[in-house]
Chain A
Amino acid sequence: MDKILEVKGLSQVYGKGCDLCFASTGPEFETNICPHCGSIVALHDLSFDLYKGEILGIMGESGSGKSTAVKCLYFDQMPVSGSALFFDDSGQKPLFKLNPAQRRSLRNHRFGMVYQNPNLGLNFDISAGGNIAERLLMSQVMNYSEIRERARELLARTEVLTERMDELPKNFSGGMQQRVQIAKALATRPPLLLLDEVTTGLDLSVQAKILDLILEIQSELNTAMIVVTHDLGVIRLLAGRTLVMKYGRVIERGLTDQILEDPQHAYTQQLVASAL
């Protein structure tokens, strides 16, 4: 199996930070706020490997650092320390050492991101098709008919009515907006897809369909994915392996069924016991 991503020692601090930040926060201190300088240690020493076509779950409650992790990988933020190596077809790319143009190129062509809030992933002032067109135009697809055709295909694939491709996504239901976001993320057939709480806040039946779609995409395109969620059900359905995070730290990692059936850490046991 081929590795696609290797993350080592990723840390993120909001605030000015001090020498004691990492030593004074984390699960054993029950906080991620440094008592010495008041900075928030959003993420500390996150390391993992991701293989082609694999779905990795990152589970935790809000403030655990799970979203920060994917936002760093998508260059929405730069981490204070740590490295991430992306194994692209054309060679290895150290994500946080790239220049802005190289970062933008990866973001546009090789990575896809689906946010919990469609507002972040979609431009609500342009049509659903236009949103997909944007990603294609970033990839220098300059033929209007081809862009239309690809946008139509992607929307059909994600089960958005193609008759509605010229409508503004703000008129769509939440589930439909997520579908458009997924279609947009997939437009360049990225080998890596980041999914941040994509089903949170949706009706159960809509959730199930989105999860279904994600699995279909994984098996069709062999896309590697990182799925960030607080929902055990999502993890159970999607992820082969799971990291459990709390106060910015990974407190447990393992095969998903093992995490759910034989959790080792007190927090994970509590989490699994309280879910049905």
Chain B
Amino acid sequence: MRAIRKALAVLAVVFFAAMAAHAEEKGSIKLTSLAETDTIVVNAKGEKEVKRVEAARAKVVPGDVVIYTTLYENVGKAPVTDAVINNPVPEHMLYVDNSAEGKGTRIEFSVDGGKTFGATNTLTMVDVKGKARPARPTDYTNIRWTMEKAIAPGASGGVSFKAKIE
């Protein structure tokens, strides 16, 4: 009896694994990450204007600000719910205060590499003397956007933040 139960459990695992394998082919969300920077260019009229270009195709040096945008699109046939986008602040970069945006999302931050998240005023760091202090924006290691509403099939949107190159 016990053996049968075990066998059933194994079968179930195999079944779910097969489901997962099927899902691997295509998910319901297409996720795109853009790294861009604002550069000042002179237009045909000789006026200076700000142009947003891919960071990879711009001259970027320490001190420059990069705008990270994550685009999502429901490419499936069913509505997507409880979507959570997580973006670590890249290495060599510091989060720019108040720069995270995302319409219809709850934005939270982490200072421990994404283990725990919280609102900006709830995060603390431990200073060199072992005393707790409020976390600064430059301490943030991860940003998390939690969608408040379902994403309908075909619907898309984006969230973004800015970070400065150290």
A-B complex is real: no
